[in-house]
A = this chain, B = another copy of it.
Amino acid sequence: MREVDVAILGAGSAGLFALSQVKRETDNYVLINGGELGTTCARVGCMPSKVLIQVAEDFHRKSIFDREGIDGAEELSVDVPASLEHVQDMRDVFVDKTLGVTDEMDVQHLLDGYAKFIANDVIEVNGEQIKAKSIIIATGSTPVVPAAWQVFAENIITTDEFFEMEDLPASMAVIGLGSIGLEIGQSLHRLGVKVAALDQLKNIAKLDDSKVNELAINTISREFPLWLGEAAVLEQVGDGIQVTAGENTMVVDKVLASLGRKPNLANLNLAATDIKLDANGIPVFDPQTMQLEGLPIFIAGDVNLDRALLHEAGHEGRVAGYNAARCGANIAVEKFKRKVALGITFCDPNIAAVGAQLSELDEENIAIGEIKFAPVGRALIIGKNRGLLRLYVQKSDGLLLGASMCCVKGENLAHLIAWSIQNGMTVFDMLKMPFYHPVIEEALQAALYSVLSQLDVKQDLVELERA
């Protein structure tokens, strides 16, 4: 039986980041990938969705032209097939980049096939068994489509197929308003598709803060309706699908199922191992080592359903790869700190959550800084001054714990805030930093000021730093 130090199951983002660490320690590894190479991020996720958003946003910007003295907005139109071709062209560029590593690998190191477990340390691929000192599960995830919807399969699209479309239907229901549904739904509307956007939850983009959620819903639903809080019921009507949710109903050509993603675990034959599963059927793992309890097995990326984000897949992959290589060499695994939580939905305005969220905090111990964007100079100038930023601050000492926002340039503010939290900064520390003028970062400054009077600790002249 072939024996390797490390076997990595899956050549997506997490698997490739794991590989980068494994390679430093051993050349006796194997990367096993079933299906098409290229990452979820590049093929059907982060990248093509951002191109679509960019096109839709550029086209939508015409809505401000009249106010700015720019004539002719009504003459603009979208050639949808051309736009989609642009999205696909860019997508291909990004996919090609991710193929760089695997393109250079020989057949000893890269196997094309689906792996399944035979034992804790043995896998089988294409009928061949391989014994591995350690194994990394990085098999990714697949869009969820409810079994009951199989009968409508002709009309249902997931993000796996979406970016292959050569034209858009006249009407579309987007079911599930997490990040992906919200981003694509808004873009479809802006590109002229009649959109019904639904979620059975009452919050969008997983927003935890009800005030930010309310602002986000009010702002985004000025463009197109959001049907929230009712489950969708589908029914075939002629060539289309009638989508009903509570009192709302609409017949659409296609349905985008954006209900989330499920881990690719079903075909791994985990039953042949001692892997413990949690209530959701996900292997129990230590998020600081990425190791499965008591086994030489590691898990990284979307497959563990924890923080299914590219930059976290990168972190998890590196940790898993680092520890898997050492585990195989009988060196103790190490624990690594997780990064401050950072989630961004690239809708317009952006929605972002950073650090601890309200439901995780004891409201008695925190003060909330808040800024509505209406009077923020730069937001006014951009013409996007509907927005809200809320900061969660420890009352006793002013430590910033978390934030939630729906606002223009939220993606950039979220980074500044995330770095501040990870650096252990208080609101006093932050107010000593430079805020240029006129920039969107001044909204953060205003939110920081707004919290000062609510803190137990007072500092005079917080805006100055004694030398």
Pick from B69, B73, B84, B415: contact of A436, CB below 8 A. B415
* Interface pair B377/A464, CB less than 8 Å apart: no
Q: Which of the segments A60-68, A151-159, A170-178 contacts the partner chain?
A: A60-68
Q: Specify which of A54, A69, A79, A433 lies most central, judged by the most chain B CB atoms within 10 Å of its CB.
A: A69
Binds B, one of A27-35, A332-340, A388-396: A332-340
Q: Known: A322-B464, A342-B434, A377-B94. Contact between A83 and B54, CB under 8 A?
A: no
Binary per-residue interface labels of chain A (418-462) against chain B in the complex, 1 for a CB within 8 Å, 0 otherwise? 111011010000001111111111000000000000000000010
Chain B CB within 10 Å, residue with most, of A71, A322, A437, A439: A437
Tally of this chain's copies: 2
In A305-323, the 8 Å CB interface with B consists of: 309-311, 315, 318-319, 322
Chain B, Cβ-Cβ closest to A409: B412
CB neighbours (8 Å) of A310 from chain B are: 436-438
Size category of the binding interface on chain A:
35 or more
A318 x B464 contact (CB < 8 A): yes
Known: A335-B467, A464-B322. A68 touches B58 (CB 8 A): yes
A76 touches B73 (CB 8 A): yes
Is residue A194 contacting chain B, with contact meaning CB distance below 8 A?
A: no
B69:A80 contact, CB within 8 angstroms:
yes
| Contact between A72 and B69, CB atoms less than 8 A apart | no
Q: A58 and B46: CB pair below 8 A?
A: no
A319, B434: Cβ atoms closer than 8 Å? no
Encoded as 1 (CB less than 8 Å from any B CB) or 0, chain A from 75 to 112 comes to 11111111111100010011001000000000000000
Contact present for A78 and B70 (CB under 8 Å):
yes
User: Once bound together, how far apart are the Cα atoms of A378 and B94, in whole Å?
Assistant: 11
Given the contacts A335-B466, A336-B467, A339-B434, A50 and B381 also touching, CB distance less than 8 Å: yes
B58 and A86: CB pair below 8 A? no
A206 to chain B, nearest CB (A): 15
Which residues on the B side are within 8 Å of A78 (C-beta)?
69-71
Tell me the nearest residue of chain B to A45, going by C-beta. Answer: B437
Known: A82-B69, A436-B411. A466 touches B311 (CB 8 A): no
Most chain B Cβ neighbours within 10 Å, of A46, A70, A72: A70
Q: Which of B54, B58, B339, B436 sits near A344, CB closer than 8 Å?
A: B436
B322 touches A435 (CB 8 A): no
Instruction: Decide if A46 touches B437 in the complex (CB within 8 Å).
Output: yes
Q: 3 smallest A-B Cβ distances: which pairs?
A: A69-B82, A69-B83, A75-B75
